[in-house]
Amino acid sequence: MKKIQISPSILSADFSQLAYEIKRLEEGGADMIHVDVMDGHFVPNLTIGPPVIKALRKHCSLKFDVHLMISPVHKYIKDFSDAGADIITFHPEATENMKETISLIKSLDKKVGVSLNPDTEIKTISDYYDNIDLVLIMSVFPGFGGQKFIPEVLDKIKSLKEIKDKNNYNFDIEVDGGVNFSNSKDILNAGANILVSGTTIFKENRGDIKKNIETLRLV
């Protein structure tokens, strides 16, 4: 069984102190940093781009888990790779050719993630399990932080885990959206091994990041 990893989302961080916030996450025991990139087109919000990631890269030794909610995604992948992304995750709906997008990310020596929205079926990626490193299951509809977890997604996580185990695939199963102390155990039991969380990590227990990360990992 893969180690349970915590990938805090900086979408819930204080944007006026991002370098400091990332340092707090690193010191608090985070396994990687989850960076949500939104374009105001593919999803109804705007966040950060490659220049900010490049600026933050020198302040952190952890992997940058970059979730691209942008379309068309293909033309921007190299920019995020050059900026310092370690894992580049995209949505099937944001590319005209999944195979080419996966190949481009791999050609840049980055890990490949594919994200499935709550209404995107697992079969969408059935031809690519051997070529991806991570499947990100969205447990909210992407665009804003602080949303409530959609419990029906647990069945999708279980189904994906069964496919993975039956065929000995090696991809990680990451879950993002409304992850908190109340539902993290169910998510992990369903088969996830990476939890993305923003509000819970930054806000619970009066902002005690270390305690919140440890609680999520062990709950």
In the set 31, 133, 172, 176, the catalytic residue is 176
* Distance set, CA 27 to CA 31, 52, 181, 202 (Å): 10, 21, 21, 13
36 belongs to the catalytic site: yes
Q: Over 86-121, what HEC string results?
A: CEEEECHHHCCCHHHHHHHHHHCCCEEEEEECCCCC
Check if the beta carbon of residue 29 is closer than 8 Å to that of residue 40: no
Check if the beta carbon of residue 97 is closer than 8 Å to that of residue 90: no
176 belongs to the catalytic site: yes
In the set 31, 36, 39, 65, the catalytic residue is 36
Is residue 213 within a helix (H) or strand (E), and if so which, with residue range? helix 209-218
Q: Would you give the DSSP letter of residue 167? A: H
Burial class (CB in 10 A: 0-12, 13-18, 19+), 181: middle
57's tokens: 């890269």
Q: Which residues are catalytic?
A: 36, 176
